[in-house]
Chains A and B, each alone.
Chain A
Amino acid sequence: MLTDFIKGIWKENPVFVQVLGMCPTLAVTTSLINGLSMGLATTFVLVASGLAISALRKVIPDQVRIASFMIIIASFVTVVKLLFEAHIPTISTQLGPYLPLIVTNCIILGRQEAFASKEPVSRSLMDALGMGLGFAFALVVLGSVRELFYQGTIADVEILGSWYKSMIIMVQPAGAFISLSILVALFKKISSRG
């Protein structure tokens, strides 16, 4: 059970190891808070749809499983989107179209196919939590790095002094690719040692 949870965060981290879900990973990680909100929203959708699909795995006929998964996932994504707009409108504006686009995040459909549709509810919960938090962890790290080098802050707390000249490229797509590749390389280096 615990290994189901841990693998998503470390050994099979969706971003750093599987390199899945690149669209939100690159697009919204301009700051720590954006990365964190996207990560948690995705975790919620993963857990909720994982639970539902695992519970219904014996009821859903094989031929229409993808259609069924999509109905379930899209419903939860819409719920998240409405709640974000209602309660944290500023973050919802920041994430823009990427919030409803969680529907197309391949981590979510991937975990349903590979795990939730075959395994019992408890294991699916652990798997979804691990994958979701692994994704959130990666987005937070990437968001912090980009925010730090863009404006010298992390979560709006000043880290580098006022002498720091902002690196505009870090909030642009090129900066996302550069930071992500360096982080993936670092991750590989660290995890291959252990």
Chain B
Amino acid sequence: MRQILKMVLVLTVLGLVSGLILSLVSNYATPIINENNREAIKEAVFYVLPNTEDYEVKTIEGKEVYVTRDSEGQVNGYGFTASGSGYQGTIELMVGVKPDFKEIQGIQILESSETPGLGGKIRGDNFKNQFRDKDASSGVSLVKSAPTEPGEIEAITGATISSQAVVDIINKGLEHVKNLMEAGGG
């Protein structure tokens, strides 16, 4: 009986002390972590919408849209995050688009665990810069050779699945946010 009591006591005290320490550390770290995340989003917004002076966050049906303004205070675009499955794990992107949703301004990869050297090249400038000022009036599409039509993106050699995933995520995100903005009074 005494042995059982001791076991219960030791585990309870350990649990309590551990909980105390963790809540202290978490109280300290959580604000900094949130700040880091906001900073990362901010950097990505400015990257995908180059002429941005400032932006505000607009939440429609739980989706955050970053409405950006240029130096004259005109709305020059919308930024939003979009994610989907890649070849390995989730790919998360920041997409910047003109207010009429007809032209992509740029994209940035926020998260991806694609194979380094192959799918990992979606992080590279060669791939990302293809989306600069890209016509997207009917979405973007993937081709395996040099693009000839507007809205075409050339796939990375050896990483068609990853390239296709990015294109699909963008198209789905564009559609989704466009509907939200139209419905939610953009």
Q: Do residues B6 and A78 form an inter-chain contact, with CB atoms below 8 A?
A: no
* Binding site secondary structure of chain A: helix
Contact digits for B29-64, partner A, Cβ 8 Å, 1 yes 0 no: 110110010001000000000000000000000000
When distances are taken between beta carbons in the complex, the residues of chain A under 8 Å from B21 are: 75, 79
Give bound CA distance, A24 to B171, whole Å: 36
When distances are taken between beta carbons in the complex, the residues of chain A under 8 Å from B11 are: 64, 67-68, 71
Give bound CA distance, A168 to B10, whole Å: 51
Q: Do residues B117 and A171 form an inter-chain contact, with CB atoms below 8 A?
A: yes
Partner of B115, one of A75, A83, A93, A172: A172
Known: A168-B118, A171-B117. A61 touches B14 (CB 8 A): no
When distances are taken between beta carbons in the complex, the residues of chain A under 8 Å from B32 are: 86-87
Q: Please, which residue of chain B has its CB at the minimum distance from the CB of A168?
A: B117
When distances are taken between beta carbons in the complex, the residues of chain A under 8 Å from B29 are: 82-83, 85-86
Q: Please, which residue of chain A has its CB at the minimum distance from the CB of B39?
A: A89
Report the interface size class on chain B: 20 to 34
> Nearest Cβ in chain B — how far from A163, in angstroms?
18
When distances are taken between beta carbons in the complex, the residues of chain A under 8 Å from B118 are: 168
Q: Do residues B22 and A59 form an inter-chain contact, with CB atoms below 8 A?
A: no
> Nearest Cβ in chain B — how far from A98, in angstroms?
12
Give bound CA distance, A71 to B14, whole Å: 7
Q: Do residues A71 and B115 form an inter-chain contact, with CB atoms below 8 A?
A: no
Give bound CA distance, A156 to B51, whole Å: 32
Q: Do residues A166 and B14 form an inter-chain contact, with CB atoms below 8 A?
A: no
> Nearest Cβ in chain B — how far from A27, in angstroms?
11
Q: Does B25 interact with chain A (Cβ within 8 Å)? A: yes
Q: Do residues A64 and B7 form an inter-chain contact, with CB atoms below 8 A?
A: yes
> Nearest Cβ in chain A — how far from B122, in angstroms?
15
When distances are taken between beta carbons in the complex, the residues of chain A under 8 Å from B185 are: none
When distances are taken between beta carbons in the complex, the residues of chain B under 8 Å from A74 are: 18
Q: Does B26 interact with chain A (Cβ within 8 Å)? A: yes
Give bound CA distance, A71 to B28, whole Å: 21
Rank and list the top 3 A-B pairs by shortest CB-CB distance, nearest first.
A168-B117, A86-B32, A82-B29
24 A-B pairs whose Cβ atoms sit less than 8 Å apart in the complex: A30-B116, A61-B10, A63-B7, A64-B7, A64-B11, A67-B11, A68-B14, A71-B11, A75-B18, A75-B21, A75-B22, A78-B22, A79-B21, A79-B22, A79-B25, A82-B25, A82-B28, A85-B29, A85-B36, A87-B32, A93-B111, A96-B113, A168-B118, A171-B116
